[in-house]
Amino acid sequence: MNQEARQRAWRLLEESVVTYRGQPVGTVAAHDPETEALNYDQVFTRDFAISAFAFLLDGRPEIVRHFLTTAVRLQSHERQLDCFKPGEGLIPASFKVTGDGVDERLTGDFGEAAIARVAPVDSGFWWLLTLQAYVRVTGDQAFRVDPSVQEAIRLVLDLSMTSRFDMFPTMLVPDGSFMIDRRMGVYGYPIDIQAQFFAALCAAADLLDADEPANARYREALNERLPHLAHHVRTYYWLDLERLNQIYRYGMEEYGPGAVNKFNIHPDAIPDWLMDWLPETGGYLLGNVGPGRLDYRYFAQGNLLACAAGLATEAQTAALMQLIAQRYDDLIGQVPLKLCFPALEGQDWRLLTGCDPKNRPWSYHNGGNWPVLLWLLALVGLRTGADELVERALSDAERRLVQDDWPEYYDGRRGRLVGQQARRRQTWSAAGYLVASQLLERPERIELLHLGRTVEGASCAAPV
Ligand code: GLC
């Protein structure tokens, strides 16, 4: 392992720490002196989760606890029908500290100021996963059962579990409401959100105080929802050659409970690239499943998180690792790893991204490579015995990350170029690398970051 890379990554992480009234409360997204900060000088909830994991594995929980309470303080608390205010229970996408001394103030952004004005569906989920890791590592049960923390968990659940216009156990979301935070055709039921939703619901089931009467109906709702969600994703999102064959020969317009082609998927919509690309062995979870729509793109975060949290079955996890090994150049590349494959091009790019130049083919979210995802690759890879693959990815990454000063993302089919609009000194690129290298160095730490639920070593969903 490259000690110099590790030291530099730690230095970057430490320099990114934000304090509020003398306490460390989070890390800025990036501090690139050469690029306009926009909102990269704020503490993003999703970005900080990865910093939190790195600090926790290193035995430094203080900043994580302060972050968790800060987010609770900022969580939106008013029940309202005002369409310009965040819904009750929403955790901010990011926050900043302004003023100085005793005049320091905290301001959350719930998407009102973000580019394209997207509300963060994922913030509550990452807050829950950060809390779960904090409690697992420190054993701080007093913090877990604190009434304000328990109330915050219930509010996140109210916001994400109340049924609205849904017919499925998955969660319906607008485009760009998570890490992919601008238009990319990821509205509906994207796998990234379903995997986070599942992992976060498992965390909530773990964290809710069983002795608190107000929690009873939440615990019941979780026990009912989790197996349905697992069954739905394992059955309808999974794609391998056998399933592709089934879809290819689907009948159409089937009505009522006996329908095989439940979502009325047209075989003609199977994209050409997939026919030859999908290997004989191996498979992955589709990008999206909804009415008349399968999104055949592969999304790394959703797939790996589904495996890490036990949403995918053991067999599916093994098959995903086989696919990644067989399509290494496409899915890992020269600087790991690809966020989404393949890129949207031509008319698809025009229509689905709205001609977004930052998301042109093989750049940024649209087929760019994101080193932050290394922690998830390590978590799943090391658990399934793919140690060599993880080592290779990490050593490729560390060489370039040091040389290029920790870019946010890389561009190109194989991820060889520093992203055209990428920030340098991007905190979660360093944090993702650090978590991965901490896991590789001491694999027993994997248990500390075990997502899903701590039920006798098994994942939380009932076998389906
Ligand atoms: C970019 C990413 C988003 C991240 C933010 C701050 O907008 O798409 O996921 O949270 O930068 O790093």
Q: Over the stretch 143-169, which tens digit does the pLDDT of each residue have? A: 999 999 999 999 999 999 998 888 899
Q: What confidence category does residue 286 fall into, taking pLDDT thresholds of 50, 70 and 90?
A: very high
SS3 string, 378-425, reads HHHHHHCCCHHHHHHHHHHHHHHHHHHCCCCCEECCCCCEECCCCCCC
* Cα 194 to ligand 1 centre (Å): 19
Q: What confidence category does residue 458 fall into, taking pLDDT thresholds of 50, 70 and 90?
A: very low
Write the residue with the smallest CA distance to atom 7 of ligand 1: 181
Which residue has 């216009």 as its token pair?
A: 165
Q: Over the stretch 55-76, which tens digit does the pLDDT of each residue have? A: 999 999 999 999 999 999 999 9
pLDDT at residue number 163: 85
339-343, 379-383, 458-462, range with the lowest pLDDT: 458-462
Q: Closest Cα to residue 320, out of 342, 303, 343, 296?
A: 303
Write the residue with the smallest CA distance to atom 12 of ligand 1: 29
Residue 291, pLDDT > 90, answer yes
SS3 string, 166-183, reads CCCCCCCECCCCCCCCCC
Residue 84, pLDDT > 90, answer no
Q: What confidence category does residue 250 fall into, taking pLDDT thresholds of 50, 70 and 90?
A: very high
* Cα 237 to ligand 1 centre (Å): 26
* Cα 365 to ligand 1 centre (Å): 10
Structure tokens at 60: 């430094």
The whole-angstrom separation of Cα 141 and Cα 144 is: 5
User: How much is the average pLDDT of 70-90?
Assistant: 89
pLDDT at residue number 464: 33
Q: Closest Cα to residue 328, out of 442, 414, 258?
A: 414
Upstream peptide bond of 342 is cis (omega within 30 degrees of 0): yes
Q: Closest Cα to residue 12, out of 45, 38, 50?
A: 50
Q: Best substitution site from 12, 18, 42, 47 to test ligand 1's pocket, by max atoms within 8 Å of Cβ?
A: 47
Q: Is 373 in the pocket of ligand 1 (CB under 6 A)?
A: no
Q: Over the stretch 318-350, which tens digit does the pLDDT of each residue have? A: 999 999 999 999 999 999 999 999 999 999 999
pLDDT at residue number 35: 85
pLDDT at residue number 187: 97
pLDDT at residue number 36: 86
Q: What confidence category does residue 1 fall into, taking pLDDT thresholds of 50, 70 and 90?
A: low
Pairing of strands 17-20, 298-299: unpaired
Residue 463, pLDDT > 50, answer no
Q: Is 181 in the pocket of ligand 1 (CB under 6 A)?
A: yes
Q: Best substitution site from 38, 181, 425 to test ligand 1's pocket, by max atoms within 8 Å of Cβ?
A: 181
Q: Is 32 in the pocket of ligand 1 (CB under 6 A)?
A: no
* Cα 179 to ligand 1 centre (Å): 6
User: How much is the average pLDDT of 1-12?
Assistant: 93
Residue 57 has phi, psi (to 5 degrees) of -65, -25
The whole-angstrom separation of Cα 427 and Cα 437 is: 15
Specify the ligand 1 atom closest to the Cα of 115: 7
* Residues written for the chain: 464
* Cα 323 to ligand 1 centre (Å): 27
Residue 39, pLDDT > 80, answer yes
Q: Which residues pair with 26 in a beta bridge?
A: 18
Q: Is 122 in the pocket of ligand 1 (CB under 6 A)?
A: no
Specify the ligand 1 atom closest to the Cα of 39: 6
pLDDT at residue number 52: 98
